[in-house]
């Protein structure tokens, strides 16, 4: 990665699953003092995010964000603060308020202070009427509040681009698999929890059915995709700029369990579907990312075997 001097970046929701890995990657590029990590939560001294600037900020507090933008001469925001699908269905009002209210604030600030903005979307934009291989352009009829906020978020982002020239970009991330920070209350969390249980106790009860197949991605691919999209020349981006489909690897819960058994033969996985099965069933099983390949050269590196190998060896080293 090349260091980009003169750029100061603000990250919201920096203590979450993605922020824990994106913040160090951004610090490596821009310099340690040029990345302002923020979150609603107080930081734990052991967090990797604690190695640079961190301050508490609620994305619903626009004045606080503006104060940080001005005092640090911020020119780019990575807006990660959100309420994910499973937590969002437990508290849809909070999900709507944080996801839409927070985005409205950063979009306005981006317009007022001429900032670049990265705001992630999700495979949750798709609904049950989507084909199993989700096209870039297809009717978006999500059935979760989280998915609805992501569809509205893409529409809002496009509005600010079309009407105010705000350079806003986003990716419809698949379920992300990583070992450095726990996932934050999503439907795809089983694909992370299973590794922790495999290493710590040798057994796991999965909350979706064995044949549930969803699009997933190893975090290293997701971080690289984020930086590559932000590096892409503005003229190369098309109508998908606020919500590019990107594919990583799709597998069923049983295929994931079998891939772990291949490395840990005594591992036992049971299946007891809960309400999250319904959310998983409303999403497509694969993603067509032709547009991202064509517009900014997207290509994933991690397949199922590599992902399982990385997850297990890193978690085993930690234990």
Give the active site residues. 146
CA–CA separation, 61 and 226 (whole Å): 25
Sole binder of ligand SER in the list 175, 248, 284, 300 (CB under 6 A):
175
Binding to ligand SER (CB under 6 A) within 58-87 occurs at 84-85
- List Cβ neighbours of 319 (8 Å cut-off, separation of 6 or more): 199, 200
Residue 142 contacts ligand SER per CB under 6 A: no
Nearest-CB residue to ligand SER?
186
Q: CB under 5 to 8 A by kind: which of ligand SER, ligand NAD, none does 98 bind? A: ligand NAD
Residue 245 contacts ligand SER per CB under 6 A: no
Residue 20 contacts ligand SER per CB under 6 A: no
Q: Which is nearer to ligand NAD, 60 or 261 (CB)?
A: 60
Q: Which stretch binds ligand SER (CB under 6 A): 40-48, 119-127, 160-168, 286-294?
A: 119-127
Q: CB under 5 to 8 A by kind: which of ligand NAD, ligand SER, none does 311 bind? A: none
CA–CA separation, 219 and 286 (whole Å): 17
Q: Which is nearer to ligand SER, 47 or 85 (CB)?
A: 85
Burial 152-178 (b: 16+ CB within 10 A, else e): bbbebbbebbeeeebbbbbbbbbbbbb
Question: What H or E segment, with its residue span, contains residue 148?
Answer: helix 145-164
Cα 219 from chain centroid (whole Å): 9
Sheet architecture: strand order including 35-39: 54-56, 35-39, 9-12, 76-79, 116-118, 168-169
Residue pair 53/26 in contact (Cβ under 8 Å)? The answer is no
Question: What H or E segment, with its residue span, contains residue 253?
Answer: helix 253-261
Sole binder of ligand NAD in the list 65, 81, 106, 156 (CB under 6 A):
81
The residues of the shown chain that bind ligand SER, judged by CB under 6 A, are 84-85, 122-124, 146, 175, 186-188
**Where along the sequence are the contacts to ligand NAD (CB under 6 A)?**
12-13, 15-19, 39-41, 58-60, 80-82, 84, 98, 102, 120, 122, 173, 175-176, 183-186, 188
């Amino acid at each position: 990665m090349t260091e980009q001097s003169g750029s100061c970046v603000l990250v919201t929701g920096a203590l979450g699953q993605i922020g824990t890995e994106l913040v160090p990657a951004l610090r490596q590029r821009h310099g340690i003092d040029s990345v302002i990590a923020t979150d609603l939560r107080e930081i734990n001294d052991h967090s990797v995010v604690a190695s640079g600037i961190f301050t508490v900020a609620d994305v619903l507090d626009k004045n606080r964000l503006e104060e940080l933008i001005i005092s640090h001469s911020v020119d780019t925001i990575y807006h990660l603060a959100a309420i994910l699908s499973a937590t969002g269905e437990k508290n849809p009002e909070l999900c709507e308020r944080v996801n839409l209210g927070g985005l409205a604030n950063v979009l306005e600030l981006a317009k007022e202070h001429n900032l670049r903005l990265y705001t992630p979307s999700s495979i949750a934009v798709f609904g049950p009427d989507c084909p199993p291989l989700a096209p870039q352009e297809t009717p978006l009829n999500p059935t979760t509040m989280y998915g609805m906020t992501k569809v509205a978020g893409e529409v809002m982002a496009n509005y600010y681009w079309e009407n105010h020239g705000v350079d806003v970009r986003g990716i419809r991330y698949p379920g992300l698999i990583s070992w450095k920070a726990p996932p934050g209350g999503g439907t795809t969390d089983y694909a992370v929890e299973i590794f922790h249980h495999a290493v710590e106790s040798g057994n796991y009860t999965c909350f979706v059915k064995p044949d549930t197949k969803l699009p997933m991605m190893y975090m290293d691919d997701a971080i690289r995709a984020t930086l590559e999209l932000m590096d892409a020349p503005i003229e190369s981006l098309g109508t998908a700029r606020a919500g590019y489909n990107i594919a990583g690897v799709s597998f069923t819960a049983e295929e994931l369990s079998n891939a772990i058994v291949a490395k840990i033969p005594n591992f036992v996985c049971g299946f007891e579907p809960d309400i999250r099965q319904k959310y998983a069933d409303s999403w497509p099983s694969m993603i067509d990312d032709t547009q991202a390949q064509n517009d900014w050269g997207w290509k994933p590196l991690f397949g199922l075997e590599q992902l399982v190998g990385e997850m297990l060896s890193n978690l085993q080293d930690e234990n």
